[in-house]
Amino acid sequence: MSRSCRLHLPLLSRGSAFALLCLLLRTLEVDALNLTLNNSHNATCLRAQWQMNFTIEYETLNHGLKNVTIQVPSNASYSGSDCGTNDNISQIKVQFGSGFFWTVNFIRENSAYFIDVISFSYDTSDNNAFPDAKEKGKVSTTFEVNTIGVPLDEFFRCRSVMTVTERNVTHNYWDILVQAFIQNNTISTKEYLCDEDESIVSTTAVTTMPVPTAKPIPKERPYPGTYSVTSGGAVCLLATMGLQLNITKDEVTSLLNINPNTTDCHGECHKESATLRLNDSSNEYLEFLFAVKNGNRFYLKGVNVSLTFVNGSDFVAANNNLNCWDAPIGSSYMCNKEDTIAVSDTFQINTFDLRVQPFNVVEGKYSTAQECFADSDLNFLIPIAVGVALGFLIILVFISYIIGRKKSHTGYQSV
Ligand SMILES: *[C@@H]1O[C@H](CO)[C@@H](O)[C@H](O)[C@H]1NC(C)=O
Ligand SMILES: *[C@@H]1O[C@H](CO)[C@@H](O)[C@H](O)[C@H]1NC(C)=O
Ligand SMILES: *[C@@H]1O[C@H](CO)[C@@H](O)[C@H](O)[C@H]1NC(C)=O
Ligand SMILES: *[C@@H]1O[C@H](CO)[C@@H](O)[C@H](O)[C@H]1NC(C)=O
Ligand SMILES: *[C@@H]1O[C@H](CO)[C@@H](O)[C@H](O)[C@H]1NC(C)=O
Ligand SMILES: *[C@@H]1O[C@H](CO)[C@@H](O)[C@H](O)[C@H]1NC(C)=O
Ligand SMILES: *[C@@H]1O[C@H](CO)[C@@H](O)[C@H](O)[C@H]1NC(C)=O
Ligand SMILES: *[C@@H]1O[C@H](CO)[C@@H](O)[C@H](O)[C@H]1NC(C)=O
Ligand SMILES: *[C@@H]1O[C@H](CO)[C@@H](O)[C@H](O)[C@H]1NC(C)=O
Ligand SMILES: *[C@@H]1O[C@H](CO)[C@@H](O)[C@H](O)[C@H]1NC(C)=O
Ligand SMILES: *[C@@H]1O[C@H](CO)[C@@H](O)[C@H](O)[C@H]1NC(C)=O
Ligand SMILES: *[C@@H]1O[C@H](CO)[C@@H](O)[C@H](O)[C@H]1NC(C)=O
């Protein structure tokens, strides 16, 4: 059904520079394909802008071979595009019209990434696109590109038209700007030009398009997730929380919100201890360890974290001597306001809308809550207490002044 070949992109002849310029002017009117992808941590991992069209040769019933050119409409769908789960393969999927599918894979190898494989499929039973088609059905083509290696942290740019013919389809790609495997949510400002553009830049001045500036990772309130652990078919641990990780690595602090929609959990419940382990599709995890103290209270005793996202290297932190989220067994601990768990010098967890019950969950529901101090109305009493204390102090000073005066007065009298 499909055959693979290596794409050797032809160099444009110098003489076509003028034609190219005209082409650029003309194509400015056409909507570019435009896509930005985020990873599970909401950090941008890929951005792409490009134009493409396809000329497809097919056999008609009565008029022999015919060529149709397919333009990508502006309402094409990119669903299914993603940065992959293992950080080394990303894919863009474009779907449009009735039955056109286009995909490109990017692979990462050491310090470079490659545009790997392009696939294109169409359906000749679409009478609008392929009038009079003799054979009706799906046709798929695939070819390998991976001769273009772009250094990580650079974006690939090609304004020139790249043309490749694979079976009955002639692919045209132009005005390409793509960066895959974006590191640290930082969009690169370094461009890696295709050979075709290099030769044009040296002959005609081409104005550079503005490059979007890098966005810092946002500090939004994390979306709360509800996690539960079951034992013997019954829920034995419940936790609802929005989690924001504050990681300091190489003197740079980054905030990472846990997306509950892409996070799994599991754990264990024992009589005197319980664990809740959150993980995503990479091998990253965040583990909470609960313990019992004095036989009647529970607390968060430990946190373990292992992340791989920072520059592809590992980040780990652990602390088994915490004393947070303290509440009586048989109740739950609740803290709606932002609270912080300092796990280590380089790692802290900011919690939001927290409610947790690691022991004695009945019928899968939280028991009565013990609220954290930050939430409690007792907060109001602080200024009052301070005021009262100050008042006392003033009265005390006043009394001692009176007594002092009286004493010195009597002392004076006796002399
Ligand atoms: C592509 O989308 C981004 C953000 O959605 C926007 O800033 C940029 O101008 C768009 N580019 C084009 C060529 O439409
Ligand atoms: C991707 O993340 C950025 C912040 O890094 C955010 O502004 C943008 O809306 C996100 N896009 C999607 C589709 O979630
Ligand atoms: C398809 O793209 C090529 C290259 O940009 C261009 O020369 C051609 O005119 C386009 N075809 C149509 C029908 O727009
Ligand atoms: C592809 O083109 C050839 C002629 O070059 C034609 O015979 C064949 O039917 C075409 N295939 C499809 C699937 O349209
Ligand atoms: C269709 O386009 C291809 C590539 O441009 C060309 O080689 C072929 O002769 C064309 N076929 C017809 C029937 O015009
Ligand atoms: C895209 O637009 C075309 C008309 O330009 C329309 O026929 C088609 O239904 C639209 N597709 C989607 C998915 O909105
Ligand atoms: C991704 O690529 C890097 C560098 O080539 C390699 O060290 C790492 O093991 C790869 N990861 C996976 C999950 O394949
Ligand atoms: C993140 O941690 C650093 C160092 O511990 C601290 O200075 C900073 O205020 C924290 N930021 C947030 C938003 O928690
Ligand atoms: C990514 O962030 C780390 C620290 O978090 C920094 O040392 C490194 O230089 C950054 N890399 C890039 C490409 O910005
Ligand atoms: C998680 O999914 C829900 C429902 O599908 C959606 O409303 C919410 O915005 C998603 N949250 C995030 C952080 O993507
Ligand atoms: C990602 O960003 C979008 C837009 O800013 C926001 O709606 C969404 O909740 C964020 N998701 C996470 C996991 O932070
Ligand atoms: C979490 O890890 C388990 C295996 O331990 C795995 O089956 C699951 O898919 C992971 N969760 C996600 C969201 O990938």
Distance, in Å, from the CA atom of 97 to the CA atom of 174, rounded to the nearest integer, reads 21
Is the Cβ atom of 110 under 6 angstroms away from ligand 7?
yes
20 and 117 belong to one structural domain: yes
Given this model, what pLDDT does residue 265 score? 93
Asked which of 37-51, 111-125, 140-154, 233-247 is least confident by mean pLDDT, the reply is: 140-154
Does some domain include residue 191?
Answer: yes
Asked which of 156-165, 251-260, 380-389 is least confident by mean pLDDT, the reply is: 380-389
Residue numbers of the domain that contains 345:
225-371
Whether 239 shows a pLDDT value over 90: the answer reads yes
Containing H/E element for 412? helix 381-414
297 and 195 belong to one structural domain: no
What is the distance in A from the centroid of ligand 1 to the CA of 215? 14
282 and 335 belong to one structural domain: yes
Distance, in Å, from the CA atom of 152 to the CA atom of 107, rounded to the nearest integer, reads 11
Q: In this structure, what CATH number is given to the domain that contains residue 124?
A: 2.40.160.110
Q: Which of 371, 388, 408 is the last residue of a domain?
A: 371
232 and 349 belong to one structural domain: yes
**Mean pLDDT score of the chain, rounded to an integer?**
80
249 and 142 belong to one structural domain: no
Containing H/E element for 26? helix 17-27
Q: What is the pLDDT of residues 284-343, one digit of tens each?
A: 899 999 999 999 999 999 999 998 754 556 789 999 999 999 999 999 999 999 999 999
Does some domain include residue 211?
Answer: no
CB atoms within 10 A of CB 380: 9
Distance, in Å, from the CA atom of 67 to the CA atom of 170, rounded to the nearest integer, reads 10
> What band does 188 get if pLDDT is binned at 50, 70 and 90?
confident
Longest dimension (CA), the chain: 137
Question: Ligand 2, residues 42, 78, 81, 221: which to mutate, most atoms within 8 A of Cβ?
Answer: 42
Could you give the number of structural domains in the chain?
2
Q: Which of 371, 392, 409 is the last residue of a domain?
A: 371
Distance, in Å, from the CA atom of 344 to the CA atom of 342, rounded to the nearest integer, reads 6
Whether 71 shows a pLDDT value over 90: the answer reads yes
135 and 247 belong to one structural domain: no
Does some domain include residue 413?
Answer: no
Question: Ligand 12, residues 279, 282, 284, 285: which to mutate, most atoms within 8 A of Cβ?
Answer: 279
Q: Which of 371, 389, 406 is the last residue of a domain?
A: 371
Is the Cβ atom of 38 under 6 angstroms away from ligand 2?
yes
Does some domain include residue 196?
Answer: yes
240 and 352 belong to one structural domain: yes
Question: Is the pTM higher than 0.75?
Answer: no
Distance, in Å, from the CA atom of 193 to the CA atom of 176, rounded to the nearest integer, reads 10
User: Which residue has 């382990």 as its token pair?
Assistant: 277
324's torsion region: left (phi>0), alpha (psi -120 to 50) or beta? Answer: beta
CB of 307 closer than 8 Å to CB of 338? no
What is the distance in A from the centroid of ligand 6 to the CA of 74? 9
The pair of three-digit structure tokens given for residue 271, joined into one six-digit string: 């009589």
Does some domain include residue 215?
Answer: no
Distance, in Å, from the CA atom of 272 to the CA atom of 296, rounded to the nearest integer, reads 10
67 and 145 belong to one structural domain: yes
Query: Closest Cα to residue 198, out of 160, 149, 172, 162?
Result: 160
Question: Ligand 8, residues 348, 350, 351: which to mutate, most atoms within 8 A of Cβ?
Answer: 348
Distance, in Å, from the CA atom of 254 to the CA atom of 271, rounded to the nearest integer, reads 37
Is the Cβ atom of 259 under 6 angstroms away from ligand 11?
yes
Distance, in Å, from the CA atom of 17 to the CA atom of 50, rounded to the nearest integer, reads 19
Q: What is the pLDDT of residues 195-213, one digit of tens each?
A: 777 654 433 333 333 333 3
196 and 253 belong to one structural domain: no
Q: What is the DSSP letter of 332?
A: E
Is the Cβ atom of 127 under 6 angstroms away from ligand 12?
no
| Residue, of 21 and 158, whose pLDDT is higher | 158
User: Which residue has 């529901």 as its token pair?
Assistant: 365
Given this model, what pLDDT does residue 351 score? 95
66 and 199 belong to one structural domain: yes
Question: Ligand 12, residues 40, 281, 307, 308: which to mutate, most atoms within 8 A of Cβ?
Answer: 281
96-114 CB burial, b ≥16 within 10 A, e <16: bbebbbbbbbbbbeeeebb
Is the Cβ atom of 38 under 6 angstroms away from ligand 10?
no
Whether 225 shows a pLDDT value over 80: the answer reads yes
Given this model, what pLDDT does residue 196 score? 75
Q: What is the pLDDT of residues 129-154, one digit of tens each?
A: 999 999 999 998 888 886 778 888 88
Does some domain include residue 305?
Answer: yes
What is the distance in A from the centroid of ligand 9 to the CA of 184? 6
Is the Cβ atom of 74 under 6 angstroms away from ligand 1?
no
> What band does 367 get if pLDDT is binned at 50, 70 and 90?
very high
Given this model, what pLDDT does residue 271 score? 92
CB of 41 closer than 8 Å to CB of 59? no
Measured from the alpha carbon of residue 111, the closest ligand is: 7
Given this model, what pLDDT does residue 218 score? 43
Does some domain include residue 401?
Answer: no
Task: List C-alpha distances in Å: 215 to 167, 187, 218.
Answer: 42, 8, 8
Does some domain include residue 377?
Answer: no
Is the Cβ atom of 259 under 6 angstroms away from ligand 10?
yes
Residue nearest to atom 4 of ligand 3 (CA): 172
Measured from the alpha carbon of residue 44, the closest ligand is: 2
Is the Cβ atom of 212 under 6 angstroms away from ligand 2?
no
What is the distance in A from the centroid of ligand 2 to the CA of 218? 9
199 and 244 belong to one structural domain: no
In the chain, the amino acid numbered 359 is F
Given this model, what pLDDT does residue 1 score? 32
201 and 241 belong to one structural domain: no
> What band does 19 get if pLDDT is binned at 50, 70 and 90?
very low
